[in-house]
Structure 1
Amino acid sequence: MADCEITCITKPHPSSAHEHISHVGDPRVPWKWPREQVVASIEAKTNTFFVRDSQTGKRADVGVVRAAGKAPYLRTYADGVWTDNLLSLNQCPI
Structure 2
Amino acid sequence: MTDVQVTCINKLPRENKHEGITHLGNSTGKWARSQVIQWIESGTNTFYTLVGGKRANVGVINGPNGKYVRTHADGQWNDNLLALPECP
Q: Per-residue deviation at 1:13?
A: 3.5
Q: Per-residue deviation at 1:71?
A: 1.5
Q: Distance in 1 between matches of 2:13 and 2:41?
A: 27
Q: Distance in 1 between matches of 2:8 and 2:37?
A: 16
Q: Does 1:11 align with 2:11?
A: yes
Q: Counterpart of 1:59?
A: 55
2:75 equivalent among 74, 80, 90: 80
SS in 2 for 1:32: strand
Q: Distance in 2 between matches of 1:41 and 1:24?
A: 13
5+ unaligned residues in a row in structure 2: which ranges? Answer: none
Q: Distance in 1 between matches of 2:85 and 2:16?
A: 13
Q: TM-score by structure 2 length?
A: 0.92
Q: Say how many residue pairs are matched.
A: 87
Which deviations, in whole Å up to 9, do the C-alpha atoms of 1:63-85 show, x marking residues without a partner?
Answer: 00002x42100000000000000
**Do the aligned residues in 1 keep the contact of 2:13 with 2:20 (CA within 8 Å)?**
no
Deviation >6 Å, runs of 4+ = none
Letter of the 1:90 counterpart? P
Q: TM-score by structure 1 length?
A: 0.86
5+ unaligned residues in a row in structure 1: which ranges? Answer: none
Letter of the 1:77 counterpart? H
Which deviations, in whole Å up to 9, do the C-alpha atoms of 1:12-60 show, x marking residues without a partner?
Answer: 244x24451000000x2x110000000000000000000001x2x1100
Larger radius of gyration: 1
Q: Counterpart of 1:50?
A: 48
Q: Distance in 2 between matches of 1:37 and 1:2?
A: 14
